[in-house]
Structure formats: structure tokens, C-alpha cells
Structure 1
Amino acid sequence: MAVNVYSTSVTSENLSRHDMLAWVNDSLHLNYTKIEQLCSGAAYCQFMDMLFPGCVHLRKVKFQAKLEHEFIHNFKVLQAAFKKMGVDKIIPVEKLVKGKFQDNFEFIQWFKKFFDANYDGKEYNPLLARQGQDVAPPPNPVPQRTSPTGPKNMQTSGRLSNVAPPCILRKNPPSARNGGHETDAQILELNQQLLDLKLTVDGLEKERDFYFSKLRDIELICQEHESENSPVISGIIGILYATEEGFAPPEDDEIEEHQQEDQDEY
């Protein structure tokens, strides 16, 4: 069983963000560049495998996680490992998966103390343990909204190459040099916002489909036991079928389509 750690007060043993990242990267052969990238939960799962071999099924860990519902999945795997090893720490999943620095830094500070209290120094090959899978650093889950700035280098232009620039804005560029630069900067900023919004929408759609499939599974289980006249089952069914004004439940063909998509994905 694990040795629990409760104190998270600031001491001389606390590492800086850079030292903490170096420890994570060196220990697991990763290439994280920000503390925020720990929001996927994958690194913590592998640390638990390092500390307590066999407490985590690494094949269940989504090392390529890029969306919030995938982060949540990894943290559920971590929670299961905590429970199995008797770790009392409550994981603030809802905060961590948002990818904010402070929340993730506080949690990795605690985890480092927990690791030091439980690590016995045995050798561990992280690449072999995860069967050579690359751990893709998750994208910044919060769209950036900054004031318009001019293009700094070709990397910025490459990142926006998949988004078609607004043709209307380019047809009649201002004759003044300063006005032209400002318009180009605005175009770049608008393209970036468009790309961020598209990524956000894609993520929300994935998350919606994920939770829809869970509700559908609950509905099927309830329908199987509906003949038992259980008040609990009846209450759950009542919640599932409750509607609000302006809301219409999906048709059967839409449900089947969602189920097929979920099967393809998972």
C-alpha cells in the first residue's frame, strides 16, 4: 500500500516549474514544455505504474489524449489506481483538465512529494512500459484571445495555413503602409480566433457524444430491469426522459448513428 502525503506547504524542497518539468521529462522520457501539459493525466498514470507495478493498466491510458473527455478518462484510470493502493488524495479532475497553470502546478508539487515518499529506487524503462507509445503534449485547451499583433515568423503563418484567409479583406488593401500592416495583423488574429473556435467546437462535440453514449448505456440497463418495478429504476428513467420547453429528444436513427460513432472511436 502507498505511503500517504498530506503536507503541501512551501518548503526548500519544492522545485521550480522548470525543475519540475525536467524531473517529469527525465523520469518518463517525455518532452513537455509547460506544466499545463500535465492536464492530460497520462504522466501521472505512468508514474503510478513506476511506483506500484501492476496497479495501472497502461493499455487503458490514452497517451495521445488531446481532448478534455480523454483527459477525464485518464484521470479516472488514475483514481482507480489511487483507490487500489489506498491513496487518500482527492484528485481535482475538473480543475486539472482545464489546463490552468496554478491548479496543475499545485497538484504536481503534491505528487512529487508523494513520489519521493514511495519510490524505492528500482529501475524503470518508461518507453518499454508504454510499449513505445509517444506521449503527445495536449494542446492548450483554452483558446487564446490576445490583442492583434503582426506576424513574428513563418511558424505563425504555417499554423494558419489550414484556414482560408478572408478574401474580402484582401481585395482592397489600404494604400497607406501602416494601414496595410494593421490589416494583415487583424487578418492573422481573426484566422487564429477562427481556428481556436473550430478546435473548441470539435472538442465540445466529442465531449457531448461521449456523455451521450454513457446516458444511452444507462438507459439500456434501466430498460432491461424496468419490469422489476424498482422505484430507483423508475426514478432514473424519469430523469432520462424528462424534457424542457424547446427541447426535443433525438430520434432513434440519431441514437444509432451516435452509437456507431462511439464504437468506431472507442
Structure 2
Amino acid sequence: MDGAYFVGRNEILAWINATLQLNLTRVEEAASGAIQCQMMDMIHRGVVPMHKVNFDAKTEYDMIQNYKVLQEVFTKLNINKHIEVNKLVKGRPLDNLEFLQWLKRYCESVNGGIMNENYNPVERRCKGMKDRKGISSVQSLNPARVHRSSKSMEASHFTTLGLLNGSGTKLGKTSTGSDGASAARQIHALSEQIAELKVSMDQLEKERDFYFAKLRDIEVLCQTPELENLMVVAAIRRILYAADDRDSAIVEAQELVSKSITLAENNTVCSADNEDGPE
């Protein structure tokens, strides 16, 4: 399965979007587990209880429920694949990318990778969402009650902004005048801060992915049969697989390199002695 992990994120996203008629732009958007469930539903029709899959999952609790469904499907199909749920629900790009890479390879191994042409992904998603418990009760709520609830949330939001500003003014009382203008300015300022933080986060994620790819290349190189038994390679692996930031990892690696150098020098001396000896 090692080859599966060389598939890039753009190829993974294109595959998901084309197969399930979605418009994902980042692999972490698949962190809820719902997409993985629907992929299994496509290639193993009738095995996935789609009414249990929550496509609107936002909290870790709801996401975990989706992965429970997926794990049950794996068990039914005798698929020996451990799901790192605690890592996936955190939305970490690399963890989700690796799982989606595995999923793509698996889907391609079933029926020669031929998908069910009669499968309607949008219809299956909608049906699953309608069949979920609680959907009907939400749809039957009194519109006036929903409106009042929305107004209450809006007032609470503006009051919170006032507290954040330290003014103590209940901004939810009015949307006009100085209070309304102040609330609008605060909302605009907070929106700009969120946008800036998002840009910074995207940059950090790109930098992290870049260095992770470098480390992955080094790991693959260390697994080359001609090199994996060298002490220098063992020293590199010692650093790569260190469980924490302890200093002993680099110390142990340096000791292995020193032994390698000493061994090489001894071999050179022995070879020279043999050449200078009597014939």
C-alpha cells in the first residue's frame, strides 16, 4: 500500500469531487467521516446505514459517531484497517490526506475501480439526511418560534460584542444609532482579524506540509534495501522515529555515526596491512 501514499492532495480532491459531486478545496473538509462513509456506500451498496451518517457534523462528538458507522462497515466487510479517529476529527491535513489516500486505493481495488454508474451521490446524501432522527422535528418547528429564537441569538451576539469591548452597553437593544454603528464596526474588525488568522494558519499548514514531505522523502530513502542496513541510515531513523523531543535521540544517532566511521577506518587499516604483507 506504500504507493498509495504518493497520491497528491489535488488528485485526491479531484477524485472525491468528481465521484461524489462535491466541491471540496481542502482535505481537512473530509474530517467528519461522512465522505468516507458515502464512498463505501457507493462501492458496497446497502452496507452503509446512510440514515446514521451526519453530513452536517461539526463537533468532534458528531464526527466520532460517523467514524463508528464507518468502523462497523469495515468490520462487516472484514476490512483490516484501523481508523485513527482521534487524529482525524482534529482536522489535521496530513492525517486526513493519508486516510483518503488509503481509501482511494481501496476503492480502486474493488471491481477494478469501476464505480456504480447508477449511483446518485446527491440523492443518497439527501435521503440519508432526511432519514436521520430529529430532522423531521426540526422541519416542523413553528416558524414564529424559530424567528424568536433567531432574534434572541442575535441580541445575545450583540451583547457579547459590547462586553468584549468593555463598554457594558447592551447592543442588542437597537440596530440603529451609535450603538448599532459601534456593533457594525466591531463586527467588521473581528471579521478582519479572523481573515488574517486564517491566512496565517494556511501559511503555517503549507510550511508544515512542505517539511513533512521532506521528512517522508528521507524515510522512503532510508527504506531502500541497499541502504537500510547502514549505521548512518540507522542514525537517521533514530532521529525520525524519536517519540519526543528528548536530547538522547541526537546523542544516540551521533554514537551510531561514530561507530560507523570507526568501523570504516578499521577496515581501511586492515586492507592496507593486507596489501603491505608478504605474498
Which TM-score applies when normalising by structure 1? 0.48
Q: Given the two structures, how large is their TM-score scaled by the length of structure 2?
A: 0.46
Larger radius of gyration: 2
**Bigger fraction of residues in helix:** 2
